[in-house]
A and B are shown apart, each in its own frame.
Chain A
Amino acid sequence: QEKLDMSTYPVESIRNFSIIAHVDHGKSTLADRLLEITGTISKTDHNKQVLDKLQVERERGITVKAQSASLFYNHEGINYLLNLIDTPGHVDFSYEVSRSLSACQGVILVVDANEGIQAQTVANFYLAFEAQLSIIPVINKIDLKNADPERVEKQIEKLFDIPTDECIRISAKQGTNVEKVLQKVIEKIPPPQCNPADPLKALVFDSTFDHYRGVVANIALFGGEIAKGHKIVSAHTKKRYEVNEVGILTPNEQPTHKLYAGQVGYLIAGMKEVTEAQIGDTLFLYKQPVEPLPGFKSVKPMVFAGMYPIDQTEYNNLKSALERLTLNDSSVTVHRDSSLALGAGWRLGFLGLLHMEVFNQRLEQEYNMSVILTAPTVPYKAVLSSAKLIKEYGKDQITIINPAQFPDKLSVSEYLEPTVLGTIVTPHEYIGKIITLCQDRRAVQKDMLYIDENRVMLKYLFPLNEIVVDFYDALKSLSSGYASFDYEDAGYQSADLIKMDILLNGNPVEELATIIHNDKAYTTGKLLCERLKETIPRQLFEIAIQAAIGKKIIARETLKAYRKNVVAKCYGGDITRRMKLLKRQAEGKRLMRKIGNVEVPRDAFIRVLKRESDK
């Protein structure tokens, strides 16, 4: 394949930009149109979400992984190199968005002409604003019946202080005015401020894993140049590599001789795992270290879940599927775990509930694996008082990860739970609801201050187990997505802990056993029983759903038996349809877990969880 010569694009002819928007406002469609107009892809009816390569992205209509594309456009006689850096659109991935933005000098802010400014619009605007990027506001979907671009322009002026005449009204779907957007990008977004003569300084803003060639890192050059044969070093891992290939993405890989300062593309350098090319990392030439680019963070999981194979015979298959899937997703943390009933498995950390669902879906679609997901665990501690146990464990303080290991109150002098110091930034209108939410989660306020006339920062000390599952989504939900959350480790505190079991007709459902604080036992138990009642399908006998602490039942729901379940009509025309449905149900039987006599859907835990955050 012919290698491109990128030296014909001086820094002044380069524009690096991103498209940011709230979910479904048309970011990906606009990207499709830009690719078509610049001839990067041919204009056909089939260009939909071209940059969303994952099946799960296309099915759910979301962008999960950032992609980039280099576009070539001639404007008033000059050939410009426009680098479009696509960003994930979901709240779970705001760190990725901020790293992609740091490679840009401007953004196109897309707002739906009917919906107007939404949570993500604001969150992304602030990210771009704080990064001091030029912002081109674009109002999309003007072709639709309820479009009210004038109203949206006024919103933009009021909230973001951008004059209404700077807004461009477009229809990405129909292509209306999209070329104007390109021209504005050239006119308004400054070229990158950097020098090819400087030493190499490259930002990694994403990476993927290719089975034949290893890790492919998406990079943006802030200085210098890079080519095959160069020896480079990662600022984070300190490891050294030799560059095998560099190139640009159009959006497919197109090798080039070199990449120069201000340009965006990819690099292959013999890295074996994506953890070697972490988002936000800086790469420089061996023996020429530079100041690492700011903003690099090690990934912080917000939601944990236990993952087990349906059957222990599937353990190795699941192990290799997890290894391969996490090759491409360095934001999932993986630790081994085990359970009495379910055998050997893992405890995985995700960025949020959506991240976990997408991961689970990719596991099913791309690796054909079906798993059992369990209630999450955090590492509790117990100070033992029983001489027998102290002897057994060899020490007087143990760490409990698995509810099955939970020692009885009689043998323990003190239980301890891990805590975190959480920071919440929110518009002030949500303070009341957020304070209530935090109090509900046994958090203690440590600080509260206004960071500007609209936004407040709150600091709370949380027990870790109160935030691991759905705190993040509850916070987002009650602040319409405007609040943000971050946390750091804050040691252990004493706690009145108990182990709660969930029983179905007297048999414990191991996946749902939890260690919780005594204060929360009743409400949590009741909630779990109610949710379970809605998740488990009715069966031929009555099912007693109970929450228990030891032998004491603290909550109960009853799922009545089916008394009639047979389709009324089954004549010639109905038979084919009937058979299809029944066969699908027969298939579904294979995926059910049997607890005693009761059939429980494999993903009962995720579904029980999800109902809560739907509210």
Chain B
Amino acid sequence: YPQWPYCRKRCSYCNFNTYVVPAVDEVAVRACLVREALTLLRLSRLHSVTSVFFGGGTPSLASPRTVAAVLEAVAGAVHLPAGAEVTLEANPSSTSTSRLAGFRAAGVNRLSIGVQSLDDAELRLLGREHTVEEARKAVEAARGLFPGRTSIDLLFGLPGQSRDAWAQRLEAALGLCDDHISLYQLTLERGTALAAQVRRRALPAPPQDLVADMYETARTALVATGFRHYEVSNFARKGALSTHNLSYWRADQYIGVGPGAHGRFAPRGEGSHSREARVQILEPVAWMREVQSQGHGTRSRMVLSPLEQLEEVLTLGLRTDEGVTHERWGHFSPQLSLQDVFGAPGEAQALQQQGWLLLDGGGLRCTWAGLAVLDSLLPDLLWQLQR
């Protein structure tokens, strides 16, 4: 996961580790991304990489040369299969056909476009840089170059958004999209401009029940149109799931490269077999300095205990429709099976009886209804796991 931490402006709802600067020394950043990627790959002693995801910030602001450089470095260090998924996140305002073609030539084979809304007034509320028309053109261009492998991001539950307005957005989106949609409930994060506006009542807070309705409507409509609801916020048809994101939810190993990027792997190069939670230095200038002197700019690393790993497996796995399979659980917990932990009388059984959860031959997963209230189920399950 290489992180490109720069944007042209900050959207009103964003609290990511991204920076708006007058000029970016792309050559320097590129060199550091490459260097850190190589250092960490070597440290992990991994043999192959199954997917690469360029996130940020706005990765489409970087040049295709940077993308190519990072991919070449990865391919040189480990086995990067020909069909490995390589995703680039893009803003509609930096996705002309020619630009996209450049990224494709550099090795990108999947595009995720931050559409967010198909209404100009809503886009202004969100502080986005583009218009609906620009978004449409961008999606069309993307679908031309990455057919079946274009995804769009959408937000719902905006302050002041009505049920009908959302229904219209959904219809417009369905008319426009390719085979993958990421649908996010707007979360008002502390410290963002949008949250401040809601707090001082300049904007209405979205009513909880209305937002719940919007989610239900969307899920149902998407499934009816042939999409598989494979994760809380992600939908795909014709098998166009995001391999990369699945690896987060399946608790596979991943390496985060760049300012603020997160990783989960065991640094076998240092002789350790313990999976660690790692974060790279947040601030780009500080990060670059460290990469230049030490080869990588890791801010913190924490060994995850077997219990902590299982807690992650459970919390993330239950977000997907396949849930946590017996096999995956067994990989992290050879002694105690899912049945041992959650099959005995206790919280999990109660939740099953209430219709939120299923434990069977396929593993442990949420029901359709359970997925929407997963965070109400997890504390009970974690408590049961801890015991």
**Min CB distance, B322 to chain A, in Å?**
15
Is the CB of B227 closer than 8 A to any CB of chain A?
A: no
Stretch among A300-308, A395-403, A511-519, A556-564 lining the B interface: A556-564
12 new A-B contacts, CB < 8 A, other than A564-B211, A569-B187, A570-B249, are: A563-B373, A565-B374, A572-B262, A572-B263, A572-B264, A573-B17, A573-B256, A575-B248, A575-B312, A576-B279, A579-B311, A579-B312
Q: Cα distance A95–B264 when bound, in Å?
A: 60
Inter-chain contact B254/A572, CB cutoff 8 Å: yes
Is the CB of B6 closer than 8 A to any CB of chain A?
A: no
Contact residue among B184, B216, B312 (Cβ-Cβ distance under 8 Å from A569): B184
How many residues of chain A have a CB within 8 Å of chain B? 27
Chain A residues with Cβ below 8 Å from B375 are: 565-567, 582
Inter-chain contact B382/A583, CB cutoff 8 Å: yes
Chain B residues with Cβ below 8 Å from A589 are: 379-380, 383
Is the CB of A571 closer than 8 A to any CB of chain B?
A: yes
Chain A residues with Cβ below 8 Å from B16 are: 573
Chain A residues with Cβ below 8 Å from B151 are: none
**Min CB distance, A20 to chain B, in Å?**
37
Residue of A nearest to B231 (CB): A570
Instruction: Give per-residue flags for B341-355: 1 if the beta carbon is below 8 A from chain A beta carbons, else 0.
Output: 000000000000010
Q: Cα distance A562–B212 when bound, in Å?
A: 9
Chain B residues with Cβ below 8 Å from A570 are: 232, 248-249, 316, 319
Chain B residues with Cβ below 8 Å from A576 are: 262, 277, 279
Chain B residues with Cβ below 8 Å from A540 are: 354, 356, 373, 376
Is the CB of B266 closer than 8 A to any CB of chain A?
A: no
Contact residue among A568, A569, A583 (Cβ-Cβ distance under 8 Å from B311): A583
How many residues of chain B have a CB within 8 Å of chain A? 49
Residue of A nearest to B156 (CB): A568
**Min CB distance, A329 to chain B, in Å?**
35
**Min CB distance, B289 to chain A, in Å?**
22
Chain A residues with Cβ below 8 Å from B262 are: 572-573, 575-576
User: In the complex where A565-B375, A566-B371, A573-B262 touch, is A590 in contact with B383 (Cβ < 8 A)?
Assistant: yes
Chain B residues with Cβ below 8 Å from A578 are: 315
Chain B residues with Cβ below 8 Å from A573 are: 16-17, 256, 260-262
Is the CB of A585 closer than 8 A to any CB of chain B?
A: yes
Chain B residues with Cβ below 8 Å from A564 are: 185, 208, 211-212, 215, 372-373
15 pairs of residues in contact across A and B, judged by CB atoms under 8 Å: A560-B209, A563-B209, A564-B211, A564-B212, A565-B376, A567-B375, A569-B184, A570-B319, A576-B277, A579-B312, A579-B315, A582-B311, A585-B378, A586-B379, A586-B386
Give the top 3 A-B pairs by smallest Cβ distance, nearest first.
A563-B212, A564-B212, A586-B382
Q: Cα distance A570–B386 when bound, in Å?
A: 22
Is the CB of A539 closer than 8 A to any CB of chain B?
A: yes
Q: Cα distance A563–B262 when bound, in Å?
A: 31
A-side residues, CB < 8 A to B, are 539-541, 560, 562-573, 575-576, 578-579, 582-583, 585-586, 588-590
**Min CB distance, A271 to chain B, in Å?**
47
Q: Cα distance A22–B26 when bound, in Å?
A: 58
Inter-chain contact A575/B316, CB cutoff 8 Å: yes
Contact residue among A560, A565, A572, A579 (Cβ-Cβ distance under 8 Å from B372): A565
Inter-chain contact A562/B373, CB cutoff 8 Å: yes
Most chain B CB inside 10 Å of its own CB: which residue of A564, A582, A586, A588 = A564
Chain A residues with Cβ below 8 Å from B277 are: 575-576
Q: Cα distance A570–B312 when bound, in Å?
A: 11
Inter-chain contact B248/A572, CB cutoff 8 Å: yes
Q: Cα distance A589–B383 when bound, in Å?
A: 8
Inter-chain contact A568/B1, CB cutoff 8 Å: no
Residue of B nearest to A576 (CB): B277
Q: Cα distance A549–B375 when bound, in Å?
A: 37
Is the CB of B93 closer than 8 A to any CB of chain A?
A: no
**Min CB distance, A521 to chain B, in Å?**
32
Q: Cα distance A540–B353 when bound, in Å?
A: 13
Chain B residues with Cβ below 8 Å from A572 are: 1, 248, 254, 256, 261-264
Residue of A nearest to B356 (CB): A540
Q: Cα distance A246–B376 when bound, in Å?
A: 60
Residue of A nearest to B184 (CB): A568
Most chain A CB inside 10 Å of its own CB: which residue of B260, B312, B380, B383 = B383
Is the CB of B63 closer than 8 A to any CB of chain A?
A: no
Interface residues of B in 257-306 (CB under 8 A from A): 260-264, 277, 279
Chain B residues with Cβ below 8 Å from A566 are: 232, 319, 371-375
**Min CB distance, A536 to chain B, in Å?**
14
Residue of B nearest to A539 (CB): B376
Q: Cα distance A461–B203 when bound, in Å?
A: 50
Q: Cα distance A588–B383 when bound, in Å?
A: 10
Residue of B nearest to A567 (CB): B375
Instruction: Give per-residue flags for B164-191: 1 if the beta carbon is below 8 A from chain A beta carbons, else 0.
Output: 0000000000000000000011110000
Is the CB of B233 closer than 8 A to any CB of chain A?
A: yes
Q: Cα distance A582–B314 when bound, in Å?
A: 12
**Min CB distance, A59 to chain B, in Å?**
22
Inter-chain contact B378/A582, CB cutoff 8 Å: yes
Is the CB of B192 closer than 8 A to any CB of chain A?
A: no
Chain A residues with Cβ below 8 Å from B379 are: 582, 585-586, 588-589
**Min CB distance, B371 to chain A, in Å?**
7
**Min CB distance, A538 to chain B, in Å?**
8
**Min CB distance, A580 to chain B, in Å?**
11
Residue of A nearest to B383 (CB): A586
Q: Cα distance A575–B314 when bound, in Å?
A: 12
Residue of B nearest to A572 (CB): B262
Q: Cα distance A576–B312 when bound, in Å?
A: 9
Q: Cα distance A284–B374 when bound, in Å?
A: 69
Most chain A CB inside 10 Å of its own CB: which residue of B55, B232, B308 = B232
Interface residues of B in 199-252 (CB under 8 A from A): 208-209, 211-213, 215-216, 232-233, 245, 248-249
Residue of B nearest to A584 (CB): B379
**Min CB distance, B167 to chain A, in Å?**
17
Residue of A nearest to B256 (CB): A572
Chain B residues with Cβ below 8 Å from A571 are: 55, 245, 248
**Min CB distance, A505 to chain B, in Å?**
14
Interface residues of B in 19-51 (CB under 8 A from A): none
Residue of A nearest to B386 (CB): A586
Q: Cα distance A568–B206 when bound, in Å?
A: 15
Q: Cα distance A589–B311 when bound, in Å?
A: 16
Chain A residues with Cβ below 8 Å from B264 are: 572, 575
Chain A residues with Cβ below 8 Å from B354 are: 540-541
Residue of B nearest to A592 (CB): B379
Chain A residues with Cβ below 8 Å from B386 are: 586
User: In the complex where A563-B209, A563-B212 touch, is A568 in contact with B185 (Cβ < 8 A)?
Assistant: yes
Residue of A nearest to B279 (CB): A576
Residue of A nearest to B255 (CB): A572
Residue of A nearest to B232 (CB): A566
Q: Cα distance A558–B215 when bound, in Å?
A: 23
Residue of A nearest to B183 (CB): A568
Chain A residues with Cβ below 8 Å from B254 are: 572
**Min CB distance, A577 to chain B, in Å?**
10
Chain A residues with Cβ below 8 Å from B211 are: 564
Inter-chain contact B209/A568, CB cutoff 8 Å: no
Q: Cα distance A199–B91 when bound, in Å?
A: 89
